[in-house]
Copies of this chain bind each other. A is one copy, B any other.
Amino acid sequence: MPRFKVPEATVERLSVYLRSIKRLKDERVLPSQELADLVGTSDGQVRKDLAYFGEFGVPGQGYRVGTLKEEISRILGVDRVWSIALVGMGNLGAALLAYPGFKRQGFEIKVVFDNDLSKIGKVWQGVKIEDVEKIPQILFEQEIKMGIIATPAQAAQAVASKLIEGGVKAILNFAPVRIVVPDRVKLRNVDLSIELETLSYFLGRKGIAGG
C-alpha cells in the first residue's frame, strides 16, 4: 500500500496520532497543525507521515477525525484482534497479563508459558499457563503470530527460537539481552537498562551531585 519505504519513526508516530484522536468526535475536521500540537510534532511532519499512505485530507480544511481513525487503524493493522503468546510468568509477565489496555486495543494474550512446574497448569486472569516445551505445538494450533518475552536474560534466546519455530513473525522482548532472529521476523526490544542509563548519562552531563 505505501508508495515508498516508510520510516519506522513514521509508524511509531501513527500510533501516537491514533491514540491522541481516539477521544475526539468523528465529525470534527482537524488541520495538521492541530494534530501536531496534540502530540508535540510539526504540521509538516504530520502531513508527510500520512501522505505515505494516501490522500486523507481536504485542502483548506484538514483531516476528518473519523477518516483518520479508520485509515490509521487499517494501516497499523489494529482493525482486528491479534492473538499473543506471553512467555515468562514472573513479576513482569504477571503485570503484562493483568494490564487491561492490551485487550482494549485489540491485543489478546491467549496463552502463557513458563518453565516453573509449580505454575504450569494453573489459570491466571483466565489464561492457562503452559509448559515452555509446548510453545511450537500450541502456537501452531492457535495460529499465533505475535510473542512477548518476559523471561530472565539467559532464557530469552531459546524462547525466541521456540516462538519462531511455532510460526511467530513478530516478537516484543523485555529480557535484558540482545536476541538474534531471522530477517523475516520483526523484533522490538524494551530495554530498561538502556532507558535508565540514557537518563543517567543525561544527568551526568549536567554535573548533578545529589543522588
Contacts and interface: CB of A to CB of B under 8 A. Distances in A.
A127 interface: no
Give the 10 A-B residue pairs with the shortest CB-CB distance, closest first. A77-B204, A143-B210, A91-B95, A170-B199, A95-B95, A186-B202, A77-B200, A15-B197, A91-B98, A15-B194
A211 B80 contact: yes
A211 B178 contact: no
Contact of A193 (B105, B143, B190): B105
Q: How many copies does the complex hold?
A: 2
B102 A196 contact: yes
Contact of A201 (B76, B83, B191): B76
Interface in A61-118: 75-78, 80-83, 90-92, 94-95, 98-99, 101-102, 105, 107
Contact of A199 (B144, B146, B180, B191): B146
B15 A169 contact: no
B188 A172 contact: no
A55 interface: no
Nearest to A197: B15
B169 A195 contact: no
